[in-house]
Amino acid sequence: MIDLFKLHHNIEDKNAYSWIVADGPGLFSNFKLLIEKITEKSGCSIKSLSKKVSSRIGCSDYMLFDILNRKTKWISLNLINELLSILEELGEAKEAVRLRNKILASVKFLKSTPRSPVKMKAVKKLSLELAEVCGIHAADGSLNLGVSIESKHKKDITKIKNELSKEFPNLKISEWKRRDKYIICFYLTQLTQDEVLNYLSNHNINFSVSYKIEFADFDRSSLHYLRKLILKLFGYQIKIKPMKGKNGYYVHFSNKIIGRYFKNIFNFPIGKKSNTVDAPKLIKNASFPIRKAFVRGMIQFDGSVKRNGRVVFSTNSRHLMNFFLNTIKNDSLKGTVWTRKNRKKELAFESRPSKKWLTYFIEGTPKYQRLYGYLYGFKGKAKSIDEVIKIFDKIFPANNRSTLSFGKLIRTASKLKKFTRYQISNKLGIGYKSLSVMLDILEKAKIIKVERVKMVDRFKRKSDKITFNNDIKAWRIPLAVIKGE
């Protein structure tokens, strides 16, 4: 079971109004039982216990009374954890562990703060879905921790800004005014977060934090799948948006609880991580299906399937590549690894097509369809040439190495009727090798018919007689992409 108490951070959640709170069937009765055990063992009253807790964690003297009198059904994780510590200090370590497990089991929902209107599901088990989300984040996610400080007086905020700039020269601080408040904001890095947060705490500077999370991909269906995972796990809805001026999509949202899962539970770094990111220990020590789910998330976002069916994956992290290789080895999969020196020493992997690779891609996405089509052919039926072109251009998009689209190739082939590979290569002004891979795909789709002509090796296949198939009903196309796209 995932330790939900790790979601609390003593410095970031210094004040009670910023504490993460929980609710669920049986939580109140278990919390009440915890109080009874402490008062019974210590002989103290609820009033004296309330004051003791207040002095230890800085909450109101009346917090216990409010909860026990059912003035609120949301109970702070920090408060529960502190009461468990008190019970343990009273010599009841085994009972504290037993109650801890009972309380964790009874938590069903979480809120980032007591006053937050957003209720989220508490994820307590390392499931395949959670491992996949972690793999996606390791490959392509971005986690940033923002700090905001505000004051009604400009001189106060200016003083704090100047002090921070002097103490941390590399801190990029933004400043603006919103209504009657002056605000400064900055982002922390993995190396500076503890030092800056401790400075703010030691100097009694009130601040709030925000966790900014972002994912991006050229393929909208991959982000659609991520959205379904997050909704299923956390009950939280994210929006997919197109990149402005770019061919791709992204999601960007603020969520303290999901951010804490990434940072506190799985120990992912904040800020830049491409060179250092690794699979979390929870994943490494888990069963093979969990490790495979993590890799599945990685390869869906940072991997691909070429038009020739070969599977590729790339990362800047040696740790992540080693974990990837060790995991697929358990599935009897292997490939070639090399360093791309022209891409900041990016590590690249490539493997031959295999049926097992299908289990590493999300069914219905273009990457899955490319591999499935190579291995088994295409199963969908065509209605019109426009529909065929639309689907092929989505499943096999043009890239930097080959700017030729399937739409242009199909229309050119339909006009030529009969041709050789060499002839259509000259007609389109495209390299023979790239074109041959595309023609092989059209042959699988029964859009063209190829008559092999025996020639010497250097002319092999170039003189094959190719005929465009006018019978659209006989064509076979990739099945529809993932639902909702």
Task: Tell me: do 147 and 253 sit in the same domain.
Answer: yes
With respect to residue 200, please indicate whether it lies within any of the assigned structural domains. Answer: yes
Q: Are residues 384 and 461 in the same domain?
A: yes
Kindly report, residue by residue over 263-298, the tens digit of the pLDDT: 999 999 999 998 999 999 999 999 999 999 999 999
Largest CA distance in the chain: 97
Nearest residue to 469 via CA among 452, 446, 444, 451: 446
The answer to the question of residue 302 being in a domain is: no
Point out which residues pair with 381 in neighbouring strands: 476
Residue appearing with tokens 């019970």: 87
Residue where a domain terminates, one of 88, 121, 154: 121
Contact 150, 157 (CB under 8 A): yes
- List the structure tokens of 243: 């990149």
Same domain, 219 and 176: yes
Other beta carbons within 10 Å of 125: 9
Residues 6+ apart with CB under 8 A from 199: 164, 167, 168
SS3 388: helix
Round to whole Å and give the CA distance between 406 and 227.
Answer: 30
User: pLDDT tens digits, the chain, 485 residues: what are they?
Assistant: 899 999 999 999 988 999 999 999 999 999 999 999 999 999 999 999 999 999 999 888 888 888 988 888 899 999 999 999 999 999 999 999 999 999 999 999 999 999 999 999 999 999 999 999 999 999 999 999 999 999 999 999 999 999 999 999 999 999 999 888 999 999 999 999 999 999 999 999 999 999 999 999 988 999 999 999 999 999 999 999 999 877 889 999 999 999 999 999 999 999 999 899 999 999 999 999 999 999 999 999 999 999 999 999 999 999 999 999 999 999 999 999 999 877 777 999 999 999 999 999 999 899 999 999 999 999 899 889 999 999 999 899 887 566 789 999 999 999 999 999 889 999 998 888 889 899 999 999 999 999 988 776 555 677 889 999 999 999 999 875 544 44
- Which residues make Cβ contacts (< 8 Å) with residue 39, sequence separation at least 6? 45, 46, 49
Q: Quote the Cα angle for 118-122-123, to 5°.
A: 135
Burial class (CB in 10 A: 0-12, 13-18, 19+), 11: middle
Q: Which of 233, 265, 297 is the last residue of a domain?
A: 265
Give the chain's domain count: 3
DSSP state of 263: I
- Domain containing 149 equals 128-265
Q: Are residues 459 and 399 in the same domain?
A: yes
pTM of the entire predicted model: 0.92
Q: Could you please report the per-residue DSSP string of 342-378?
A: GGTTEEEEEE---GGGGGGS-TTSHHHHHHHHHHH--
Element (H, E) at 37: helix 27-42
Q: Assess whether 237 and 144 both reside in one domain.
A: yes
